[in-house]
Structure 1
Amino acid sequence: METSLDKSAIATAGATRAAATPAAVGQAQRTVYSVLGAISFSHLLNDMIQSLILAIYPMLKDNFSLSFGQIGLITLVYQITASLLQPLVGIYTDKNPKPYSLPVGMGFTLSGLVLMSVAPNFGVLLVAAALVGCGSSVFHPESSRVARMASGGRHGFAQSLFQVGGNAGSSLGPLLAALIVIPHGQRSIAWFSVAALVAIAVLTQIGRWYKQHPATKKTRGAQAGHPALPRSKVMLAMSVLVLLVFSKYFYLASINSYFTFYLIDKFHLPVQAAQIHLFVFLAAVAAGTMIGGPIGDRIGRKYVIWVSILGVAPFTLLLPYANLFWTGVLTVVIGIVLASAFSAILVYAQELIPGKVGMVSGLFFGFAFGLGGIGAAVLGQLADATSIAFVYKVCSFLPLIGVLTVLLPNVEGRKAKA
């Protein structure tokens, strides 16, 4: 029996086999909301599982009598497989589209979950973490490609919707770990296999749509309409984008990892109240993620990058000196404005290097993921050496890197119409 995803998506993308026919072109230009919703939901399940693993470190430390160094090694193995492999996966699938790679990747995640639930020793934990990381490496570049294919030209909107699913999943992981895994122990990790199985079922349906989409049959150079820029300009622009992602994710690491400690230290808040402030910030990040893409479609990605990186600087510079009320207000503004950047940066980069959606997506998702972990570690060391308040004073200058946006070339041509 065909699902609703099959009916709407196949009707949109697969009525004909010839990519060059007018009907196929029309299908490729139509926004396929069923596929976008499905890939966003899959992103939620994927990132929920990823964040779940990080949230159960205290339990694993007690169960296996691990040192902090061993905990760090688990993180290292996970981040190497989850970050460094993503661009390689993207490069390969740009040349060799693999419609069913998404459910296969989720199969790696499922295997890692099951193995972690029964792991008898530290070595097996490392293997399990590597498997979960491999699943993430396959998922992000390929699912980002699917979102672009289903966008109907609304690339920013599609990437924003896709990323909102990931943000929601990342926030659910620690909550579910506290409610389910911590009270019931290591074996209960296997219960989340149900989420992985659901994701595999959804991603299999997406794979059927992906296989029949006209873009799957196009040559590499035909996937975007923008003329190629000189290699030197492309390299300069990519370097600027990497620095912008650095400023964004290092600053986000300071909030995600240490904001509750900052509130407790400066304003003497109880833990529960500090956590509420962190939740409000994460909600603002989710809102900003959804806002940035559609605005970029309408006015241009470069304007969104200007405002979201450099434009947030006045608020980050004020934050270390604000009272409790204004700290709450400023963090909401910072969350909304700063989170709008990533969709714009990713789509801009995809348009900068036409035909290499997978490579670009893998590079930026992998880099962003890795920076979050590195940022948390570096800022933790800085906080130990100085103070948590000093960390926020230093990080408040990071958005000033956004001034480098002036070096980005115009690759968008005519503005998209919403």
Structure 2
Amino acid sequence: MSEKQATQNNPIYPIMIAIGVAHLINDTMQSVVPAMFPIFERDLGLSFTQLGVITFVLNMVSSALQPVIGFVSDKKPMPYALPIGMMSAFVGILMLVLSGQYWMIIIAVVFLGFGSAIFHPEGSRVSFMAAGNKRGLSQSIYQVGGNSGQALAPLISAFVLDSLGQHGAAIVLLLAAIGIAILLKISRWYIRQLEAERTSQKKKKILISSLPPLTKKQVSFAIILLLIIIFARSFYTTNITSFYVFYLMDHYGLTLQFGQVLIFIFMAFGVVGTFFGGSLSDRIGRKNVILLSVVVPMPFCLILPYMPLWLVPVVLIIIGTLIMISFSVTVIYAQELVPTKIGTMAGLTTGFAFGMGAIGGVIIGFLLDNIGIDTTMKIISFLPLILIVAFLLPKDKVEKLA
């Protein structure tokens, strides 16, 4: 790994890629949980509501702690929090493999959620520190890693868990060990960066915002709008990634494997959208990319429940690519709203996304149990209409930032 020190303008690509790979491993571990839902339903007889509660606990633990950890790390950076977080997730996966009862699964996902809460704010900070003048690109590489890990979940479900059951999740433990090793190296680089700043008596690196000067009221309003956008996006994507496979099996008569392949297609093209979103925002502006992710996929979300099977992959590709194109951009936009609180804003936005996924999991599970799969999917298809609040966001400047 590069010994090079980051400067204000020079991106450190080895670190950007390494933290992206670590993010991939971290989110693969988190994604094993929804990937196991069909197995839990089949082998343990869990209801959709119980599956929703598992999602709630996993995401809510992460959601509640991420802003706190981000706030603390803004005051005192914690380089070794990164491998510690992945060690916690390792314990969670190990418990998940050995769990035979519902309460044990709940405890396992608490460890996973805690690991995620530790990893994400500090991981985002490392991405920022290594970015130089390529903030959009760096954040995209970081988020692509995470989204790629999430995209692996349907394949793990279809081709590992379906045949091996929940014990098949043990394969992820090898990834976790690799991730811990990577994060130990990143932590050492992180420490050298902090020491270099102290030795040269440089001021703490502050993000240069592309937004015009805003009053506190305008900043607060913009943050609320961002959280509404994250709410609708997270709620909708949770429905697709965790529960849409049941609709595919029930409505179209697909096998679990084929259904999970379609979910993988959605998530894989979400990775593509995430990658291009950050660098695109460097060129056309953060708000314009957010608007692109709102306007174009909305009609496709509305028609998805009514599509013939042969058109479902096409619609999923369009929705996945475009609704996720703003994933990294909302984090950058929030950080530029409050440029002195990089970790706090990363923790707030990603933590809120996890929290909305948690609430969405419980609500969708309850609806599935009480009004049926078909009706639930049609109701959820209207949720992206909320995203039109993005038009009210302050306009940012489009320029190369120093």
Q: Scaled by the length of structure 2, what TM-score is found?
A: 0.86
Ranked by relative contact order (alpha carbons within 8 Å, sequence separation 6 or more), the top structure is: 2
Matches of 2:54 and 2:266 in 1, distance apart? Answer: 28
Match of 2:351 in 1: 366
CA deviation after TM superposition for structure 1 residue 140, in Å? 0.7
Mean alpha-carbon deviation: is it higher for 279-288 or for 73-82? Answer: 73-82
Matches of 1:258 and 1:188 in 2, distance apart? Answer: 21
Secondary structure at the aligned position of 1:28 is classed as: coil
CA deviation after TM superposition for structure 1 residue 97, in Å? 1.1
CA deviation after TM superposition for structure 1 residue 262, in Å? 3.3
Matched, 1:30 2:23: no
Which runs of no fewer than 5 residues in structure 1 stay unpaired?
14-26
Within 5 Å, give how 1:4-403 maps onto structure 2.
5=1, 8=2, 10-13=3-6, 27-56=7-36, 74-117=54-97, 125-173=105-153, 175-176=155-156, 192-213=172-193, 222-225=206-209, 229-403=214-388
Secondary structure at the aligned position of 1:409 is classed as: coil
Secondary structure at the aligned position of 1:355 is classed as: coil
Mean alpha-carbon deviation: is it higher for 146-155 or for 239-248? Answer: 146-155
Mean alpha-carbon deviation: is it higher for 222-231 or for 127-136? Answer: 222-231
Match of 2:400 in 1: 416
CA deviation after TM superposition for structure 1 residue 170, in Å? 1.9
Matches of 1:68 and 1:254 in 2, distance apart? Answer: 12
- Would the aligned equivalents of 1:89 and 1:138 in 2 still touch at CA under 8 Å? yes
Matches of 1:152 and 1:303 in 2, distance apart? Answer: 23
Matches of 2:223 and 2:89 in 1, distance apart? Answer: 30
- Would the aligned equivalents of 1:83 and 1:370 in 2 still touch at CA under 8 Å? yes
- Would the aligned equivalents of 1:224 and 1:355 in 2 still touch at CA under 8 Å? no
CA deviation after TM superposition for structure 1 residue 93, in Å? 0.1
Mean alpha-carbon deviation: is it higher for 221-230 or for 284-293? Answer: 221-230
Report the count of equivalent residues: 397
AA matched with 1:11 = K
Matches of 1:317 and 1:281 in 2, distance apart? Answer: 16
Mean alpha-carbon deviation: is it higher for 295-304 or for 148-157? Answer: 148-157
Matches of 1:252 and 1:188 in 2, distance apart? Answer: 25
CA deviation after TM superposition for structure 1 residue 206, in Å? 1.0
1:347-397 deviations in Å (ceiling 9; x for gaps) = 111101112111111111121122223223323333444443433433333
Mean alpha-carbon deviation: is it higher for 62-71 or for 132-141? Answer: 62-71
Q: Share of identical aligned residues, percent?
A: 39
Secondary structure at the aligned position of 2:144 is classed as: helix
AA matched with 1:160 = S
- Would the aligned equivalents of 2:197 and 2:204 in 1 still touch at CA under 8 Å? no
Cα 1:351/1:43, change in 2 over 3 Å: same
- Would the aligned equivalents of 2:56 and 2:362 in 1 still touch at CA under 8 Å? no
Matches of 1:183 and 1:37 in 2, distance apart? Answer: 33
- Would the aligned equivalents of 2:28 and 2:149 in 1 still touch at CA under 8 Å? yes
AA matched with 2:301 = T
- Would the aligned equivalents of 1:42 and 1:203 in 2 still touch at CA under 8 Å? yes
AA matched with 1:413 = K
Matches of 2:297 and 2:168 in 1, distance apart? Answer: 42
AA matched with 1:397 = F
Cα 1:118/1:351, change in 2 over 3 Å: same
Mean alpha-carbon deviation: is it higher for 323-332 or for 356-365? Answer: 323-332
CA deviation after TM superposition for structure 1 residue 159, in Å? 1.6
Matches of 1:84 and 1:216 in 2, distance apart? Answer: 31
- Would the aligned equivalents of 1:220 and 1:356 in 2 still touch at CA under 8 Å? no
Matches of 1:88 and 1:46 in 2, distance apart? Answer: 19
CA deviation after TM superposition for structure 1 residue 104, in Å? 1.8
Mean alpha-carbon deviation: is it higher for 228-237 or for 391-400? Answer: 391-400
- Would the aligned equivalents of 1:102 and 1:142 in 2 still touch at CA under 8 Å? yes
Secondary structure at the aligned position of 1:210 is classed as: helix
Matches of 1:212 and 1:273 in 2, distance apart? Answer: 48
CA deviation after TM superposition for structure 1 residue 30, in Å? 1.2
Matches of 1:406 and 1:62 in 2, distance apart? Answer: 44
Cα 1:219/1:65, change in 2 over 3 Å: farther
- Would the aligned equivalents of 2:55 and 2:361 in 1 still touch at CA under 8 Å? no
CA deviation after TM superposition for structure 1 residue 301, in Å? 0.5
1:229-252 deviations in Å (ceiling 9; x for gaps) = 221111100110011111212221
CA deviation after TM superposition for structure 1 residue 132, in Å? 2.0
CA deviation after TM superposition for structure 1 residue 285, in Å? 1.2
Q: Scaled by the length of structure 1, what TM-score is found?
A: 0.83
Higher-Rg structure is: 1
